[in-house]
Structure 1
Amino acid sequence: MTNSFRTRPRALANWLFIVAALIVLMVVIGGITRLTESGLSITQWKPISGVVPPLNDAQWQAEFANYQRIPEYQQLNQGMTLAGFKTIFFWEYLHRLLGRLIGVTFALPLLWFAVRRQIPSGYGPRLVALLALGGLQGAIGWWMVQSGLSVRTDVSHVRLAVHLLVALFTLAGIVWTALDLRALARDPHARPARLTGLGIAVSTILFVQLLYGALVAGLNAGLVTDQWPLMNGSFYPGPTVAGRPFLDALFNDPAIVHFVHRWWAWVTVAALVVLARATRRIDRRASIAIHSAFGTQILLGIATVMSSMNLPLAALHQLVGALLVAATAWGVHAMGRR
């Protein structure tokens, strides 16, 4: 390892865990933004000047006027007061502000560690790639918002799914890298963990569940029913639109998307149980984290549906989903240690 006496893998790992915690918070705020239908309240993308919110009545009126020009206001929210607009503006503003904070929290320390040559050999490109993923996430967020500004009254559920999945992939990558660095801090000769066949299989199964969770959010499919395990008195609800092709319904029909999400969850649980049991021999804490996360997530998912998408429960469901991704990355990393 080049300049091993100068590198600081433990400090880098601690920094990355802080960034990971901010991303988890970002996922929760993003979920609340979606649940409160706040995502289209800011109709412009101003990466720098957008940090400053409206500060006087004239600026608030200008922002509200921009919102009044889009279909969501004209078709769904006619008559909304300025006070009501300020409420939805708050969540979208907070979501974007936190995104900027994460960018600064990642970029500035990375530059500091790089200038001081404290990044271990081989980790620089990986950290730059993670930074680039964060930048891409910001662009995807605006791409998602654009889909709801002209014709639609909400954002594209497909673009929302891409936005969420990239955030969770970035979270997993940051947790994985932090764990590699923590191992390096304990043993200067430690090598990065590798992906095992089991890790790839479990990650793929979890990816499908996360995809359908994002589609449920984008289609408001959680409101299709407040029953569990049945859906409006039936096990299989059938597509919302009669005659819709199956492949189209699989990704675009709220009832079918909800059905897949609630039952693929048990396939995911089975895969996570296998991972947790395999991980137990290597890292008992990772095994406990996986079990705790998926057990809590299942209960929250059922409670969220039966409460007709109660906001605090739905936000907790989003939180534990992000924590489940982090716990799974921990377990898969443990399986791939060398």
Structure 2
Amino acid sequence: MSSPIFITNDEVKSVLTWPLINESIEEAFKSVVSEDKYPLIGDQDQPYANQNARTRTSTHNDSGSLFTMPGYIGNHKLSLPNGERKAFQTLGCKLVTWSPNNQNLKPPLPTILANILLLDGETGQLQCVMDGTLITAWRTASASVVATKYLYFGRKHVQGSSDGVTLAILGCGVQGESHALGMCTEFKVNEIRLWNRTASKAVELSAKLDEARNSFVNSNPIITVCPRVADCVAGADIIVTGTQTAAPILNLDMLKKDVHINAVGASASHYSELNQDIYDVASVYIDYWAGAKTELAGLRTNIVCEVGEVIINDKKTPEKGITVFQSLGMAVEDAAVAQAVYQHLKNKQL
């Protein structure tokens, strides 16, 4: 029996691309709806999943948390470096810690640290332990990119339009950065607006985006640091909220009528960033029901369906109104991405 390997963050970074991760996330979205839509899954050309809601273990005085996220995704397709698209059966488990005091350390550490255990889907043999910190940042952003692709750019009046969009980023930490990069790499963004409670972080992100602009669909977007949330989101087509606020920062009267919001921040709950008046009128989409039933239990809103149901055309893309992707994160996302990274690294070593 061969020994498992450890894959470092630098090794992950060497092969991780937005096309690779977006493909994996789209497969993960589809997999969680397949159990209901395709009961005879062995006869269907669809990915499928088995996962539970994440478990949480608190550390001393509730100063941090360990989240355990096991998941199995079967028959998910990956594009390999040789051009082949192959199906995989993947078993994985992510261990992720949330330690908010890390940012005060000298030198600081990321607030969220993660490792992914990748196991053989047939034998259960541990293949590798993979640093999952970068994957967590990217796959969370990729989930918003894929949701935006279907919930905003899937609208008929947007399809075929050559007009670019205005993107507003609220919260300029790790998630703000990864979301800005992912959105601008996938979509034509004419203007990027940034807001952060500590303004210097927005300024820092502005500089990073300016350096990365050659990788964007539109290489010449206007990048603006905004002093207020209302200034940042006024007239924006797509909004990302990636903060740790425990109180709402976004109100209905700040928004244009057909905006799409990706709500990804986390504090005491996963839905503290948006005011109730938004949830009263918005159509809300989720990544998976098992997580939503646990982590969105107190949310009063119209949850339409899982994003995967829109991807497989079981539910229609809304043509107008406010849409919200309420992001929770799924174990099968991490497993699918880890499998893709593992395969690409194996190819590099051949």
Q: Which has the higher contact order (CA 8 A, sep 6+)?
A: 1
> Quick check: TM above 0.5?
no
Q: Which has the larger radius of gyration?
A: 1
TM-score (ref. length: structure 1)? 0.26
TM-score (ref. length: structure 2)? 0.26
- Structure with the bigger percentage of helix: 1
